[in-house]
């Protein structure tokens, strides 16, 4: 005959499930934060490269527009990194 679970056992099982879910969410947030940081770093490196290329050219409007777009993306990434999950 199977034993009936007490209320305390039921609560502990639910608590364990909730704690595991919280840990899983924490891992997802950390992973997303790391990916954002890597992407921001890649954009910064690309901006540095483009600045070097642009300094070698006389005024080139399309290149300036690319740099402005990269700056905008970097700003968007920076604002996303402060969003709470």
Residue 75 to residues 4, 38, 40, 56, Cα–Cα distance (Å):
57, 14, 9, 26
Q: Quick one: pLDDT at residue 65?
A: 76
Gap between the Cα atoms of 8 and 10, Å rounded: 5
Q: What is the pLDDT of residues 57-66, one digit of tens each?
A: 666 567 677 7
Confidence check: pLDDT of 82 > 60: no
73 contacts: CB under 8 Å, gap ≥ 6: 43
Q: Quick one: pLDDT at residue 70?
A: 75
Confidence check: pLDDT of 84 > 50: no
Please report which residue ranges of the chain form alpha helices under DSSP H: 7-56, 61-80
Asked if 54 and 6 count as a contact pair (C-beta separation under 8 A), the reply is: no
Q: State mean pLDDT over 23-42.
A: 90
Q: What is the pLDDT of residues 36-81, one digit of tens each?
A: 888 888 888 888 887 776 776 666 567 677 778 778 877 877 776 5
């Amino acid at each position: 005959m199977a034993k009936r679970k007490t209320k305390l056992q039921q609560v502990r099982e639910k608590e364990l499930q909730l704690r595991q879910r919280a840990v899983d969410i924490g891992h997802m947030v950390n992973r997303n934060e790391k990916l954002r940081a890597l992407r921001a770093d890649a954009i910064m490196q690309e901006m540095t490269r483009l600045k070097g290329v642009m300094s070698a050219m006389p005024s080139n409007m399309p290149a300036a527009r690319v740099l402005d777009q990269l700056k905008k993306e970097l700003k968007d990434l920076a604002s996303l990194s402060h969003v709470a999950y």
